[in-house]
């Protein structure tokens, strides 16, 4: 199964990707996580990415594609979380998949009203194992500690209200053309992200179970 998750920042995309990974046993590829890892390691791509990420802007296409291309080639099934984010990236993804004789099964768009996004991101707590929590809506069992791996939870540097406004604006400008692109291809599905995590996942599961059957 090959799918893309599209959602504005703070919509719970990472959480849903984790749930899909566990239930459907497909690899979760997050460009945000890969970029943060590259920044932490201080690689050349990471150094190039940092200044854009700190401002909440999109990292140039060549950096992101450089970081993700081999992963897409080596994996047969995957959930792409955070890629593509622009029409150009979507076209590159199509080319990479074409070269491998593969196709995307579906693109799931998680919709959440703008006013809820800032509130969600500002309370977000992340773990380096990939788990994501929220101070109010999805707190860990022990304060500051990841339920899954026992790691120390942290706040992402770009999860501030100011950066969020910039990221939502950037999402609207650059990502909305993608929605049209995938709609025209007939593979776009939409879910309501403004409800409990379990309910959002239930909607996603219905879509994925149908794909598995077809």
Give the residue numbers marked as catalytic. Answer: 13, 85, 124, 156, 167
Q: By CB under 6 A, is residue 83 in contact with ligand AMP?
A: yes
Q: By CB under 6 A, is residue 32 in contact with ligand AMP?
A: yes
- Taking a C-beta distance cutoff of 8 angstroms, is the pair 71, 28 a contact? no
Q: By CB under 6 A, is residue 58 in contact with ligand AMP?
A: yes
Q: Which is nearer to ligand AMP, 39 or 188 (CB)?
A: 39
Q: By CB under 6 A, is residue 59 in contact with ligand AMP?
A: yes
The piece of 27-35, 140-148, 185-193, 200-208 that touches ligand AMP (CB under 6 A) is 27-35
Query: What Rg, from alpha-carbon coordinates, does the chain have?
Result: 16
Token pair listed for 46: 């990471």
Q: By CB under 6 A, is residue 64 in contact with ligand AMP?
A: yes
Q: By CB under 6 A, is residue 132 in contact with ligand AMP?
A: no
CA 125, 16, 115: angle at the middle one, nearest 5? Answer: 65
Q: How many helices (H) and strands (E) does the chain have?
A: 8, 7
**Binding-residue pattern over the window 141 to 180 for ligand AMP, x denoting contact by CB under 6 A:** -----------------x--------x-------------
Q: Which is nearer to ligand AMP, 78 or 83 (CB)?
A: 83
Q: By CB under 6 A, is residue 72 in contact with ligand AMP?
A: no
Distance CA 130, CA 88 (A): 27
Residue given tokens 């140039």 in the structure block? 60
Q: By CB under 6 A, is residue 53 in contact with ligand AMP?
A: yes
- Taking a C-beta distance cutoff of 8 angstroms, is the pair 168, 120 a contact? no
Q: By CB under 6 A, is residue 9 in contact with ligand AMP?
A: yes
Which residue in 85, 120, 124, 134 binds ligand AMP (CB under 6 A)? 85
- Taking a C-beta distance cutoff of 8 angstroms, is the pair 110, 12 a contact? yes
211: left (phi over 0), alpha (psi -120 to 50) or beta: alpha
Token pair listed for 134: 């929220």
- Positions that interact with ligand AMP (CB under 6 A): 9, 31-32, 35, 52-53, 56-59, 64, 82-83, 85, 89, 158, 167
């Amino acid at each position: 199964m090959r799918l893309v998750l599209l959602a504005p920042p703070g919509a719970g995309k990472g959480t849903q990707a984790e749930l899909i990974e566990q239930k459907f046993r497909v690899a979760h590829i997050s460009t945000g996580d890969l970029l943060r890892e590259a920044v932490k390691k201080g690689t050349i791509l990471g150094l190039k990415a940092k200044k854009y990420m700190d401002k909440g802007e999109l990292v140039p296409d060549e950096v992101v594609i450089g970081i993700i291309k081999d992963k897409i080639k080596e994996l047969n099934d995957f959930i792409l979380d955070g890629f593509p984010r622009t029409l150009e990236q979507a076209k590159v993804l199509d080319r990479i998949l074409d070269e491998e004789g593969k196709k995307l099964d579906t693109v799931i768009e998680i919709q959440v009203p703008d006013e809820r996004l800032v509130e969600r991101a500002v309370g977000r707590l992340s773990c380096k194992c990939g788990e994501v929590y929220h101070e109010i809506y999805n707190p860990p069992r022990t304060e500051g500690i990841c339920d899954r791996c026992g790691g120390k939870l942290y706040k992402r540097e770009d999860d501030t209200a100011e950066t969020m406004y910039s990221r939502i604006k950037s999402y609207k400008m650059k990502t909305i053309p993608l929605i049209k692109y995938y709609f025209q291809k007939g593979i776009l599905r939409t879910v309501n992200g403004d409800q409990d995590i379990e309910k959002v996942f239930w909607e996603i599961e219905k879509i994925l179970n149908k794909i598995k059957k077809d």
